[in-house]
Structure 1
Amino acid sequence: MAFYLTDGTIIGSAPKFTGSEYLDVASGNITSIKGVDDEDMPVIRELLRVWRKKYPRNLIRGAYYDCKERFKDFGISIPDQIKNKVEAMIGWPELAVRSLSDLSDLEGFSVSGDDTMGVSDLFEDNQLDVAAAELIVSAYKHSCSFLTIAVDPDDSGRIIMIPRSADWSAGIWDRYRHRLSAALTITEDDENGRICGFEVWLPGKVYECSGRTLPWRAEKHETHFDQPTVVSLAYDRQMDRPFGHSRIRRSLMSLVDAGFRTVVRMEASAEFYSAPKLWFIGANKDAFSSNTWTSLIQAINAISYDADDHVPELKQVSQASMQPHSDMLKTMAMLVASQTRVPVDYLGITLDNPTSAEAMASAERRLTRIADKQNTAFGREIKRAMGIAVALREGSNTIPDSMRDIHPVWAPTKEISDSARADAFTKIADKVTGYADSDVGLERLGLSREEITRLRADQSRQRAKTQIDQLKARLASTGTSKEAGDGSQQSGYSGDEPSTASTAA
């Protein structure tokens, strides 16, 4: 069954949508907008064209992730009663995304010296650790995601950083500068799925477009920045694909379809276990009740002789084995594991020979290597976004050079035991001066960025308390010495008196 958008675009097998869960692609065919400069309108039309082209495929990937895909039947062996009522139940696409995204945990930013640029405040104000998690899941699902940076119009001076999904966004890549040259984010739609609001991000300006009442109109906001205040996070970015690849590729969707059919065939075969397959040779069909199930469960059944006084012969056909279905499902799962680098144990498949700890660690290392590589790529874009946010807050038109010394901090992707961490920490601390009390050393020891911050605060309070105690002790010592000095003078006068008297005498 093909699924058509309102403009007639075929997007393949229809996901199971309920209500207004998709946008009207035709409503994005906008030719003119009042308030937009003439030189910017071709770029906006190109952005809308890119969105219309990519949206259907993003819609399908989202349906597979949410387990809402349609059942693709060959029309051979599955009864209509089962085929028309079956629901999707294989969550391999979500597992392919979440097994990798869960390894990317942004903890904060490493700032050399005092945080004069207020990076920590921007991070906390925009909950960037939570936003980064949403961005990464969306990037693995649709191949990329976007993070927009703008000055809050309702709170002058406050910077807002908003994550945007690729299915409601579009971008144009600047290969020369290796960054976005323009971006579009859809912000509003009506009850019929028609687009009625979007924002266009260009160098030096942002257009806020509205079309709830035609014709379309735009309000321009000057940013005076040398690039669009948007960054793009992409999975597996390549030279020919600057917006990356999706973890839910066509091959994975085909494997999910094959696994879906296999499970449905198993369901159909299981129905025959409810009743044995019986053949009565030489018996008239009229000898049986119209309700077959009633006949099967009756304690006593009888069939008379036929017209030639022959006794009907009973034959029971053995049930079909479920083993071929389970073997095929296991094969599909192993192909998915190979495609996504996910350990096969994660897919709910138990092998005949239990997987050893070394084999499991080797399989997981494939994911951690990918996660480490992606964290580096994601970190650069998030660092750029933070630089844009600092520049907008300071009223600058470029990213400050001081941002070069600021780096995002990710939680470790590999699970390491506490004893192994402590052993490595001790050996390195013996060789490197100052390592034991540095942020790098504490991160290697396994402390999170929040724990390090709390530790630094406790250390600062302890140092302040120690200094106060030392100052009190010094003041007390000074006071004691002064009292002792005053006592010495009084003793001297007292001792002089006999001497003076003796001299007088």
Structure 2
Amino acid sequence: MENYRGINYLRDKLNQLKQRVSLRYDYYTMKHKISQKGITIPPEIRQKYESTLGWCSKAVDNLADRLSFKEFGDDYFGINEIFKMNNPDVFFDSAILSALISSCCFIYISQGDDEIPRLQVIEGDQATGIIDPITNLLTEGYAILNKDDNGNATLEAYFIPGRTDYYVEGKYAYSYQNKAPYALLVPIIYRPDAKRPFGHSRITRACMYYQSFANRTFERADITAEFYSFPQKYVVGLSNDAEPMDSWKATISSMLQFTKDEQGESPKLGQFTTPSMSPFTEQLRTAAAGFAGETGLTLDDLGFVSDNPSSSEAIKASHETLRMYARKAQKTFGSGFLNVGYLACCLRDDFAYRRNHFYNLKPKWQPVFEPDAATLSSIGDGAIKINQAIPGFFDSRTLSDLTGIEGANNE
């Protein structure tokens, strides 16, 4: 019998990784409070002008919204039917978004009432496992399925090939047997590599730094704006017998009256130099440029709108890095969804299929950029010329994959 690590080992492993994933979710939901850095502004004043910025959310959503899973081609095992019965419009988007934030999410597969397996997305800070580096499937897994109001786990699951054990309030409760050759907890991973098989988050350390830097710049600009709106004034030469001046009245009044003293001398008025807001604008642009370079976005995406509107081709060209990120994500996510379908078929049919039986199934995605009229016209001209050189090279299926448009189903 294979030597498994056990549920206690996986619980400890999850606790070690949970803080890292929770930090990414705080940045995504804009709830992370940045550290109070600076030597000139008192902390009690800085707290009154606490800023919020959503650049990390923009980086994740901009890529997630361009990843739209379509279906599996050459589906001989009925995988598409399983996904269609599990609310695919929400399932795929939820899995992709969670994986981009936390570097990976997990799909919990369980037996449904109508013999169709149920698929549930579990966040990266609620599950972990021991991964097979060849197939990216888990040989052993652990997931928190339910929590109480205080955040304590009330229902946990421990996965090994052929069996899923359930624990209620930390104690073993019951098990379900199956014939799946791997654990029924499948990771969906973003940008895995040999050193980090569970992938990398879209919210990198550089992204968090640039957003925190921009947050601090906004706070300093907001505080400086108070002095910019009401410049500080001063009066010299007042008599010692003069009545104390109301500072607020002196700030907002449009007319102040001062009389001469007994020697016939009058006080002199002055105003300190008004601080400029230009350095903060330049700092924000610098932070935005660094963040855009890190994530494949443009300054237009981050709110620095250019004067001249871009054409469809110009937008595609400026987002070339983002397009490469999207194509890479399609490969890794497609492999993960295929693993989900493979184990779901094993559970549905109560049969241990071999994974190499599913290698012909090809995941299909909608185009990263929706084609406009000019692009459709050029694709049509190119398809005609290629079909003249190689008859039948382009058909309705290949054109649908290229354009994302479903044609008429003429038998």
Q: Same fold (TM over 0.5)?
A: yes
Q: Distance in 1 between matches of 2:225 and 2:125?
A: 39
Q: Distance in 2 between matches of 1:151 and 1:293?
A: 71
Which of 416, 422, 427 lines up with 2:380 in the alignment? 422
Q: How many residues are aligned here?
A: 407
Which of 81, 95, 104 lines up with 1:144 in the alignment? 104
Q: Which amino acid in the other structure matches residue 365 of structure 1?
A: E
Q: Distance in 2 between matches of 1:38 and 1:218?
A: 23
Check conservation: 2:109, 2:117, Cα contact below 8 A: yes
1:74 is aligned to 37
Q: Distance in 1 between matches of 2:311 and 2:346?
A: 52
1:390 is aligned to 345
Check conservation: 1:388, 1:399, Cα contact below 8 A: no
| Cα shift readout 1:216-245 (whole Å, capped 9, x = no counterpart) | 123111112211122212122110000111
Q: Distance in 2 between matches of 1:136 and 1:272?
A: 46
Alpha-carbon deviation of 1:288?
Answer: 4.2
Q: Distance in 2 between matches of 1:288 and 1:356?
A: 63
Q: Partner of 2:6: helix, strand, or coil?
A: helix
Over 3 Å counting, the alpha-carbon distance change for 1:284 and 1:184 in structure 2 is farther
Q: Distance in 2 between matches of 1:376 and 1:298?
A: 66
Check conservation: 1:341, 1:367, Cα contact below 8 A: yes
1:289 correspondence with 2:289? no
Check conservation: 1:71, 1:88, Cα contact below 8 A: no
2:55 is aligned to 92
**TM-score (ref. length: structure 2):** 0.90
Q: Which amino acid in the other structure matches residue 102 of structure 1?
A: D
Check conservation: 2:108, 2:185, Cα contact below 8 A: yes
Q: Distance in 2 between matches of 1:447 and 1:257?
A: 38
1:480 is aligned to none
Q: Partner of 1:123: helix, strand, or coil?
A: helix
1:44 correspondence with 2:2? no
Over 3 Å counting, the alpha-carbon distance change for 1:438 and 1:432 in structure 2 is farther
1:316 correspondence with 2:267? no
Q: Distance in 2 between matches of 1:220 and 1:306?
A: 96
Over 3 Å counting, the alpha-carbon distance change for 1:72 and 1:129 in structure 2 is same
Alpha-carbon deviation of 1:143?
Answer: 0.8
When structure 1 is superposed on structure 2, of 50-59 and 308-317 the one drifting more is: 308-317
Alpha-carbon deviation of 1:324?
Answer: 0.5
Q: Distance in 2 between matches of 1:67 and 1:130?
A: 23
Which of 152, 158, 172 lines up with 1:200 in the alignment? 158
Alpha-carbon deviation of 1:82?
Answer: 4.1
Q: Which amino acid in the other structure matches residue 227 of structure 1?
A: Y
Check conservation: 1:101, 1:136, Cα contact below 8 A: yes
Q: Distance in 1 between matches of 2:400 and 2:331?
A: 20
1:7 is aligned to none
1:434 correspondence with 2:389? no
Q: Distance in 2 between matches of 1:264 and 1:74?
A: 11
Alpha-carbon deviation of 1:264?
Answer: 0.6
1:344 correspondence with 2:299? yes
1:255 is aligned to 210
Alpha-carbon deviation of 1:333?
Answer: 0.6
Q: Partner of 2:146: helix, strand, or coil?
A: strand
Q: Map 1:24-423; keep pairs closer than 5 Å.
A: 42-80=5-43, 82-111=45-74, 117-152=77-112, 155=113, 157-175=115-133, 177-211=135-169, 216-283=171-238, 287-290=243-246, 292-305=247-260, 309-350=264-305, 360-399=315-354, 402-416=357-371, 417-423=375-381
Q: Which amino acid in the other structure matches residue 362 of structure 1?
A: A
Check conservation: 1:79, 1:268, Cα contact below 8 A: no
Q: Which amino acid in the other structure matches residue 188 of structure 2?
A: L
Alpha-carbon deviation of 1:84?
Answer: 1.9
Q: Distance in 2 between matches of 1:400 and 1:253?
A: 39
Check conservation: 1:122, 1:159, Cα contact below 8 A: yes
After superposition, the CA RMSD in angstroms is 2.7
Percent of aligned pairs with the same amino acid: 27
| Cα shift readout 1:348-383 (whole Å, capped 9, x = no counterpart) | 124699889876433311111121122011111111
Over 3 Å counting, the alpha-carbon distance change for 1:182 and 1:363 in structure 2 is farther
Q: Which amino acid in the other structure matches residue 289 of structure 1?
A: M
Check conservation: 1:107, 1:129, Cα contact below 8 A: no
Alpha-carbon deviation of 1:206?
Answer: 0.6
Q: Partner of 2:351: helix, strand, or coil?
A: coil
Q: Distance in 2 between matches of 1:348 and 1:307?
A: 60
Over 3 Å counting, the alpha-carbon distance change for 1:99 and 1:367 in structure 2 is same
More helix by share: 1
Alpha-carbon deviation of 1:328?
Answer: 0.6
Q: Distance in 1 between matches of 2:356 and 2:228?
A: 72
Structure 1 residue ranges without an equivalent (≥5): 1-36, 461-505
Check conservation: 1:173, 1:181, Cα contact below 8 A: yes
Over 3 Å counting, the alpha-carbon distance change for 1:86 and 1:50 in structure 2 is farther
Structure 2 residue ranges without an equivalent (≥5): none
Alpha-carbon deviation of 1:415?
Answer: 4.2
Q: Map 1:463-482; keep pairs closer than 5 Å.
A: none
Q: Which amino acid in the other structure matches residue 74 of structure 2?
A: V
Alpha-carbon deviation of 1:421?
Answer: 2.1
Q: Distance in 2 between matches of 1:349 and 1:53?
A: 39
Alpha-carbon deviation of 1:94?
Answer: 0.7
Check conservation: 2:365, 2:401, Cα contact below 8 A: no
Q: Which amino acid in the other structure matches residue 328 of structure 2?
A: K
Over 3 Å counting, the alpha-carbon distance change for 1:71 and 1:305 in structure 2 is farther
| Cα shift readout 1:189-228 (whole Å, capped 9, x = no counterpart) | 11222222111221111111111xxx61231111122111
**TM-score (ref. length: structure 1):** 0.74
Alpha-carbon deviation of 1:274?
Answer: 2.9
